[in-house]
Structures are given as C-alpha cells and as structure tokens.
Amino acid sequence: MILRDARLFDGREEVATDGAIRFDPESGRIEAVGDADPQGDEPVISLSDHTILPGLVDAHVHFSLSGQATVEDVVGQSDAELTLTEVKNARTTLESGVTSVRAMGARDLDVVLKGAIDRGEIPGPRTLANCRSITITGGHGHHLGREVDGPTECRKAVREQVKRGAGFIKFMATGGVTTPGTDPETLAFTHEELEALIDEAHRRGVHVATHAHGAEGIKAAAAAGVDTVEHGTFMDEEAIDLLVTNDVTLVPTLSAPYRIARNTEQATEESSRKTGGVYERHIDSFKRAYEAGVTIAGGTDVGTPFNYHGTNSTEISFMVEHGMAPEEAITAMTASAADVVGLDVGVLEPGKFADLLVVEGNPLEDVSLLREPTAVLKGGEGVSGRLPNDPNGH
C-alpha cells in the first residue's frame, strides 16, 4: 500500500513536501519513506494537500481517571468498573490520533488492558504500562498505588510490579496536587529508598519514571539515576543542569495545571490552592529546561481534573505557546516520546510500525490541525476517520 503526494514529517523533520510512504498491510510495518513506485497492482492513494506524520505518542496518561474534579470518585470503584472506564478511555485515545502511550497504572488494570490491546481484542493505543505507582505511606497517589517504607520494601515493591507485568516503574518523589495532605515541594523518600527503587528497577531491566514537582525531589531522583521526570514543576538551575548531565528526559505535562487553573470554580479548594501561582512557575521551569537543552517528551497527564481523553494533542499547542518550534513540539510527542516508551513507533522509517496520522493542511504551520486528523492508522489499518480518495475504505 502506498500513500503519496503528501507532505511527510518523519517524527524529527520534514522529509518531503510531495512524497510517498509504503507499508505492508500484512506486517503493519513501514517499507519505504520518501519515494515509492507501485509494484504490480499495489493500491495507491493520493493525499495531496495532506500531511502524513507518525501517530502521536503520549508518555503520560491515566486511563483509570476521566477528568473528575477529585480522585475520590475513582478510588471507591471496583476493578470491574475501573476496567470498563479504562477500555473506553483507551479507545477514545486511539481514535484521537494517539497510537502509543505510556500508561500510569491503577492497581494492576493497565497491564491487563495492554494484553487485551496487544491481542487485538479491544481497540487502543500500543501501551507500555506499570501496575501500581510506588509511594511512601500516605504519599501522593496512595489510593491506587503501592505504599512502601524503607529500602528493603522499595526493592520488594519493584520486584512485585515486574512480576505482575509492569513494563516500567513509577514512583512519587514528592507530594502531589490531587492527593490531600501531601506537599508537592518536599522530597518524600529518603535517599536510600530512592537508590533502592531505581537500582532494583534497572536490575530488572525496566526504566524508571518519577512524579516530581519540587526541586529537591527532582535532584535526588536525577542523581540516583531516574530515567524520566514527570511534571518538573519547580526546577532550579541545579535541577536543570542535572537533567542535562545525567540525560534525564522531562515529561512536562503542561496540560495538567492548565486545566485546573482554567477550572478553579469546580476544582477542589486544595487542588486550586496548590495550583494557584504554580502554573506560572511550571511554565517558567519548562522554558528554562527547554532553553538549557533538556530532552523533552510529550505527555499530558490526561485523566487528571478537567484533562479529558482525546484532547491529548493540545499538549503540542501548549509546548509551542511556551517557546518550542512546531517541529520540536511534534518531535517531543512522536520521536522523543517513542524513545521513552521504547516501542517501534514515533518515526517514519522502514521497519517501524505504520502508525500514521493524516492531517489536512500543514501542521508545521498550525499545530492545532492535529486535533482533527483526517485519518488515523495503527499498523497500517484505519482506526478512525477515512483516507480521502480511498476506493477500499481504509
């Protein structure tokens, strides 16, 4: 199958203004990018006035949450109820053009969801999932997480998560906005606990993400070898330098505080107070990290208050609004996020999955066009929208 006459952005740069891409519908993988001449009766679809780019990769989603004002509504739900929620949110995500995600787990549901998606039983993006995020007793996310105290329990918790199928480990280095009674600014774990968590995860062959708002938490996690920092809300120069030196990727999740800051009337008093003034500091941290050359991967924290599944691509608009060039912001949410997720996606090159976004016009000039893709393909198969001029209705 060949799609031609289109602008091609390969996940890193524009490679053609009038190019073609070939993929094998059987394997679902890309075979050629740039030029492709049809062989035999190979189907060809002309996509003039359209841009083809990799399906988006969201490095931070919560399928268990649906934008409720508080997590209280969610923690009382049974596994059966939460599973239905996750199935619905996974489908919405895929159809909006996000073809891969790193899912922040709730209980053990996300690894089960991933299995069903991989087997083709339910529609959803390719997923890297953890089980329960690891937190101190009473710490951020303890409702759906695994509480630990002391280095030995930290190691045990990591081994448990990997045993249950976690593809990465997430822990909460600081308190959070949505968990009452926790402080976003202070380091939650001891240094010994952090080192145990990260060392054990790397021994088990999985990467480690940390939720971290305050600079002390970011620095302690980065010094101990964490792979990604989520949010990075209050970074000082030392924290930014450490991210650069230790090659730690920042997933800024600009969507999350934006949505709370824009919905203060409905947000809980505590989450509004914690977000008030924080949004500006978060943006400032993001800008300084970007200017200092920190690797940035796009992630939305979708599912958190008023941050709805299917609106993921707005994160790209936020990154552009706060200083990134459109190509850089799209790269953050394709190639760079794919590096974090570790799947064969996020770039258009032979051998990668044909997870494609077809967008009318030029999103390199107007990234908001990504919100309304003409068609979304996963492994070369249409999952939403419709390719124009397609006789076979792919």
List of residues contacting Zn ion (CB under 5 A): 301
When the beta carbons of 51 and 85 are compared against Zn ion, the nearer one is 85
When the beta carbons of 19 and 232 are compared against Zn ion, the nearer one is 232
When the beta carbons of 10 and 301 are compared against Zn ion, the nearer one is 301
CB of 98 to Zn ion, least distance (A): 15
∠ CA 338-344-347, rounded to 5°: 60
When the beta carbons of 172 and 243 are compared against Zn ion, the nearer one is 172
CB of 304 to Zn ion, least distance (A): 6
Give residue number: closest CB to Zn ion.
301
CB of 127 to Zn ion, least distance (A): 15
When the beta carbons of 12 and 102 are compared against Zn ion, the nearer one is 102
Q: Taking a C-beta distance cutoff of 8 angstroms, is the pair 215, 173 a contact?
A: no
CB of 311 to Zn ion, least distance (A): 15
CB of 217 to Zn ion, least distance (A): 14
CB of 338 to Zn ion, least distance (A): 19
When the beta carbons of 53 and 59 are compared against Zn ion, the nearer one is 59
When the beta carbons of 301 and 355 are compared against Zn ion, the nearer one is 301
CB of 226 to Zn ion, least distance (A): 15
CB of 61 to Zn ion, least distance (A): 8
Residue 182 CB-density burial (10 A; 0-12 exposed, 13-18 middle, 19+ buried) = buried
Q: What span, in angstroms and rounded, lies between the C-alpha atoms of 3 and 230?
A: 36
When the beta carbons of 210 and 331 are compared against Zn ion, the nearer one is 210
